[in-house]
Structures are given as structure tokens and as C-alpha cells.
């Protein structure tokens, strides 16, 4: 049995500010070495038991979703929401995608991309056990992966167990201590296992408006390069979580599988610092990685008239043929080999070599070598990401978009 992983990567992690921000959402922050939480989640489903992942995120994060997956050696299907619609709508869209591309009995694993899981092997065992139970079920059911609740904590969902079944599901109670005085309770890890057809049935029973809206949006999805782009969601649909819309009212149809390893929702500074060795202040002060289809860059220093950036260009990728009206640029190769086209003439630069690009000069940067190309770019004049006029582009941005 192949499990279809669905990665929910649209969260911003606002509680983790200033470490997390609109420009650096929590799923893309380096956590384990150089790996982001999104990459850690992708790595857990890189086994023969799992199909290639379906990732659902925000359109504004498209290049981060693509590049982090590329660096992790993955090629997921990436579905982009132009307006955040809540996790209930995201799960409905994922189920519809699976129904249209697979079949109703496909077992889906719905997974957040911003949690710490200590033991990937123990996690896979718990998911596999639940997937087998869901696959054999004769009625619509949802499998919940639970963590034994040892003390009261706010901000989490709680599962009361009745053997291997769920007796009650309480989403973020105001007084969790009162719950724990009786019964066998687990934290909800936010990971759910269900068949695509069962999700359709449960949505139609408990949240038909969300399902119908998802159907309408799914019919209007368009392919843009590597992405599936969902049109803006109706305002009346936005907001509900999958937990609230489906799991809580369907608690009687839920199964429980305990996960025997450390897990954490990294939603606060305290929890983040408890699970990473990197100093909080150092991480907050680090330059923000800005992803582009050719790679990414960091702004090292910026004033009103000068900016210093480090460009990281993937092997085989190149920037657009472009020029700037309000700035000059000075490039210095830090590592790799740069193929530079300047006013129609192409040369190759090695580490330490430089080139000056005047205002209005057509230029292009390409990495034709097998290793990453890193360039220091000094912009002088009026540094502005919108000051780009493109003549040619490999990514369809001649008119559409900056960066």
C-alpha cells in the first residue's frame, strides 16, 4: 500500500515573530543543520511506502516551496493558494486532487510542515499502523496520531481515548487541566490519516459548504510552470481548521494511534529554543533568504542608495536578460564559475574576478557549472527589486513579476 502524503505548508508561524515573518515563514527557517522544517517533513516521507508528496502552500511562497524541495531531492506536486482558506479548505482541495488523479481508496497522510519529530522511524511505524487500519475500514474513518498528554498545555487539541478509538476530541480547550483529571488523554499532533473518498463523505456530512467551494475552486485550477494555482477562495469559506470543521464533529468516527517518540508544535520561542542548538538572537538577526526560480539571495546590507547581496544560483539555472534604470551593479564571484553576458558579449568569471554593470546595460548571469554559483552583488543608486526590465526569461517573467 502506498500512502499519499499531503504537506500543509501554508502557515506563517506568527507566534514565532520576529524569527518567523511574511518573508521568512516558519516552515522555511533552518532548523536541523541547514534543513528547514519543510525539508525535514519531506525527508520523513522519502521511502518506498510513500507516493511523491502533494504540497499545499501560499502563492507568495512558491519559489521557497520549489527550491527547498529541490534541495531535499524531491519533486512534489505543489498546489498554491492565492488567498489563505484555512486547513479545512486545503484538505478538501487535496482530497479532490487525489480523487481526480487516483481513486477513492487512496490513503492520505495529512501532515503539518512546522513540527519537531524526534524519531522518524517511530513516526513511520505509527503512520503505517494507522494507514493499515484505515485501509481495512468498512466505514468512513479518520486516523489521528496522538502524543500522550503528560501535563496541561494550552493551544493544543486534546484526544480522549477509548481503547484504540476516540471518545472525544476537544480543540484547544480553555482549561485543559480540568480535562486531564479523568480519562486517557493525548495531545493532537495535527497529523491525520484518511482515505480520499472518506474525506469526501465526511466533508459532505459536516462541512458541505467547504466541500462545494473546494469543488468549484478545483475546477478552476490552472497550471503555471511547475505549479497548480488555485483561484482566490470566496471570503465566506476562509478560516476554519480541519480540526474544527471535520475532526471535532466526527470524533465518533476517529481512530487513535499513539506515537512513541518526542513531538513538539514549535509555535513559541520557548519550544523552538528547546529543540534547536542555534541561538535565538543569532537566528533572528540572520539575513532572510529570498527565493527565486533560479536560486535565492540574501541581503547582507542595505541603505537608501546601496545594497549588498549574495546571490546563490543553482547549476544549470540563469537569471533573466535584464537591465536597470536606477542603479549600477558590481559583481564579484565568491565561488563557482559565472557565465556573464554583458551587452551581447559573454565571458566566464572565476572566484575573485569581478565585472561592473552600468545603468541601462543589458546583462545576464548563468551558472553553467555543476556546483552552486555564489555572487556578491553591490547595487549603487536606488536599489529596488522592481527596477528590472526583462528582455528574455526562462520562467515567464518578462512582463509578469519581479525578482
Structural domains of the chain sorted by starting position, each given as residue range(s) with its CATH number in brackets: 3-285 (3.90.550.10), 289-392 (2.60.120.10)
Range of lowest pLDDT (58-67, 175-184, 339-348): 175-184
DSSP-derived 3-state class of residue 208: helix
Does residue 383 register a pLDDT over 60? yes
pLDDT tens readout for residues 282-329: 999 999 999 999 999 999 999 999 999 999 999 999 999 999 999 999
DSSP 43-104: HHT-STTBPPPEEEEEGGGHHHHHHHHHHTT---EEEEESS--HHHHHHHHHHHHHHHHS-T
CA atoms within 13 A on the CB side of 40: 22
Specify the pLDDT at position 281: 92
Please check whether residue 294 is in contact with residue 284, taking contact to mean a CB–CB distance below 8 angstroms.
Answer: no
CA atoms within 13 A on the CB side of 293: 15
Does residue 403 register a pLDDT over 70? no
Q: Which grid coordinates belong to 236?
A: 465566506
Q: What percent of the chain has pLDDT over 90?
A: 80
Q: Which grid coordinates belong to 31?
A: 532548523
pTM, two decimals, is 0.92
Q: Give strand ranges (E) for 200-258.
A: 222-224, 227-230, 254-258
Split at pLDDT 50, 70, 90, the class of 400 is very low
Q: Which grid coordinates belong to 263?
A: 513531538
Split at pLDDT 50, 70, 90, the class of 401 is very low
**Is the alpha carbon torsion for 236, 237, 238, 241 positive or negative?**
positive
The enclosing H or E element of 199 equals: helix 196-206
List, in order, residues 6 or more apart from 47 with CB less than 8 Å away.
124
Specify the pLDDT at position 38: 96
Specify the pLDDT at position 365: 98
pLDDT tens readout for residues 114-160: 899 999 999 999 999 999 999 999 999 999 999 999 889 888 999 99
Vertex 242, ends 237 and 244: CA angle to 5°?
90
pLDDT tens readout for residues 241-267: 999 999 999 999 999 999 989 999 888
Does residue 343 register a pLDDT over 90? yes
Amino acid at each position: 500500500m502506498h500512502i499519499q502524503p499531503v504537506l500543509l505548508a501554508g502557515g506563517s508561524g506568527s507566534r514565532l515573530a520576529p524569527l518567523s515573518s511574511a518573508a521568512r515563514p516558519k516552515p522555511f527557517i533552518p532548523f536541523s543543520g541547514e534543513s528547514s522544517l519543510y525539508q525535514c517533513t519531506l525527508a520523513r516521507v522519502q521511502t518506498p511506502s510513500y507516493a511523491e508528496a502533494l504540497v499545499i502552500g501560499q502563492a507568495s511562497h512558491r519559489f521557497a516551496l520549489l527550491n527547498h524541495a529541490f534541495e531535499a531531492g524531491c519533486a512534489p506536486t505543489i498546489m498554491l493558494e492565492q488567498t489563505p482558506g484555512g486547513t479545512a479548505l486545503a484538505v478538501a482541495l487535496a482530497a479532490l486532487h487525489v480523487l481526480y488523479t487516483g481513486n477513492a481508496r487512496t490513503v492520505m497522510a495529512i501532515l503539518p510542515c512546522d513540527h519537531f519529530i524526534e524519531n522518524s522511524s517511530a513516526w513511520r511505524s505509527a503512520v503505517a499502523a494507522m494507514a493499515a487500519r484505515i485501509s481495512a475500514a468498512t466505514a468512513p474513518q479518520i486516523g489521528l496520531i496522538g502524543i500522550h498528554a503528560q501535563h496541561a498545555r494550552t493551544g493544543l487539541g486534546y484526544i480522549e481515548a477509548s481503547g484504540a478509538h476516540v471518545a472525544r476530541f476537544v480543540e484547544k480547550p480553555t482549561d485543559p487541566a480540568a480535562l486531564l483529571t479523568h480519562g486517557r488523554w493525548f495531545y493532537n499532533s495535527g497529523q491525520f490519516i484518511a482515505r480520499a473518498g472518506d474525506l469526501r463523505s465526511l466533508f459532505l456530512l459536516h462541512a458541505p459548504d467547504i466541500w462545494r467551494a473546494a469543488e468549484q475552486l478545483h475546477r478552476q485550477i490552472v497550471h503555471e510552470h511547475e505549479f497548480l494555482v488555485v483561484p482566490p477562495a470566496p471570503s465566506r469559506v476562509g478560516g476554519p481548521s480541519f480540526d474544527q470543521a471535520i475532526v471535532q464533529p466526527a470524533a465518533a468516527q476517529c481512530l487513535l494511534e499513539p506515537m512513541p517518540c518526542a513531538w513538539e508544535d514549535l509555535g513559541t520561542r520557548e519550544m523552538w529554543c528547546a529543540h534547536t542548538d542555534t541561538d535565538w538572537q543569532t537566528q533572528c538577526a540572520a539575513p532572510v533568504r529570498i527565493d527565486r526560480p533560479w536560486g535565492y539571495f540574501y541581503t547582507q546590507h542595505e541603505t537608501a542608495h546601496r545594497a549588498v547581496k549574495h546571490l546563490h544560483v543553482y547549476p544549470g539555472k540563469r537569471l533573466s536578460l535584464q537591465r536597470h534604470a536606477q542603479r549600477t551593479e558590481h559583481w564579484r564571484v565568491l565561488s563557482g564559475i559565472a557565465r556573464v553576458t554583458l551587452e551581447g558579449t559573454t565571458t566566464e568569471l572565476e572566484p575573485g574576478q569581478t565585472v561592473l554593470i552600468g545603468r541601462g546595460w543589458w546583462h545576464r548571469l548563468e551558472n553553467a557549472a555543476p556546483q552552486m554559483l555564489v555572487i556578491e552583488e553591490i547595487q549603487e543608486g536606488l536599489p529596488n527589486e522592481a527596477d528590472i526590465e526583462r528582455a528574455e526569461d526562462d520562467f515567464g517573467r518578462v512582463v509578469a513579476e519581479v525578482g
